[in-house]
Amino acid sequence: MRNFSLLFQKRCIICHEKKQFKYLLCEDCYEKLIFVDCYRDIDDTDCYFSLLHQGLTKKLIYDYKLSRKEVVRYFLADVISSKIKEKNLQDYTLLIVPSTKSTINRRGFDHIHEIAKEVANNLDMEYLPDAIVKVKETKIQHNLSQLQRIENLKGAFKVNADLSNRKILVLDDIVTTKNTLREIKRTLNGNYVDLKFVAVSSRSNEKYYNWV
């Protein structure tokens, strides 16, 4: 049960003034976010996402990572949940792109795990939080060349569960260069019935289906 205050139940979580319209946002704030129906291709695997990573979207995700704001988590989880419903992926097993223990300790919480719990709860999906673990500390990707990025991520993840008879959906927050999702796919090594990715936002898109 969501326990945010009465004030936020009716008011937009961004401007705190106008009435909620969709995803806890008022119509004006909703219009400022760029909702899209796009996907990116991760070595022949679809990655669906709902927002372009710019402006207000960027700020919301950044604020959530820093502040753990509950209402923003609800917003992000609602956006992902409706994308999963739209693509009919509720019968997939949910996994996450994991962080290392030290990153989680530094941040004070596991931001993607918190979103995934909410999504699994919203859609009554099976969720295996520890099926993929991050076993190697990686450097911040954006300072590295493309080759260094691939090298940096090599061997970063380990699969900790038997997924061979499952359809799996791996959740991430932002898709930037695709290297992380590629490494996840490489680590899973075909041991699944089907694989899809879903994210809140992406820096770019490869194909527009429709503007939502």
Residue 26 or 123 with smaller CB distance to Zn ion: 26
Regarding 13 and contact with Zn ion (CB under 5 A), the answer is: no
Residues numbered 67-96 forming contacts with Zn ion, rule: CB under 5 A:
none
Q: Which of 2, 9, 10, 15 binds Zn ion (CB under 5 A)?
A: 15
Closest approach of Zn ion to the CB of residue 206, in Å: 31
The length of the chain in residues reads 212
Q: Give one DSSP letter per residue of the chain, joined into a string.
A: -----HHHHHB-TTTSSSBP-BTTB-HHHHHHS-EEEEEEEETTEEEEEEEESSHHHHHHHHHHHHH--HHHHHHHHHHHHHHHHHTT-TTSEEEE----HHHHHHHSS-HHHHHHHHHHHHHT--B-TTSEEE-S----GGGS-HHHHHHHHTT-EEE-S--TT-EEEEEEEEESSSHHHHHHHHHHTT-SSEEEEEEEEES--SEEEEE-
Stretch that binds Zn ion, among 4-12, 32-40, 111-119, 145-153 (CB under 5 A): 4-12
The verdict on 26 binding Zn ion (CB under 5 A) reads: yes
**What token pair was written down for 208?**
């527009």
Q: What is the closest distance, in whole angstroms, from the C-beta atom of residue 19 to Zn ion in the complex?
A: 9
Q: Which is nearer to Zn ion, 27 or 137 (CB)?
A: 27
When the beta carbons of 12 and 163 are compared against Zn ion, the nearer one is 12
Work out how close the CB of 61 gets to Zn ion at its nearest, in angstroms, rounded to a whole number: 17
First to last CA, the chain: 29
The window from 11-19, 64-72, 115-123, 128-136 that contacts Zn ion (CB under 5 A) reads 11-19
Least distance from C-beta 58 to Zn ion, angstroms?
17
Binding status of residue 12 toward Zn ion by CB under 5 A: yes
CB of 73 to Zn ion, least distance (A): 18
Interacting residues toward Zn ion by CB under 5 A: 12, 14-15, 18, 26, 29
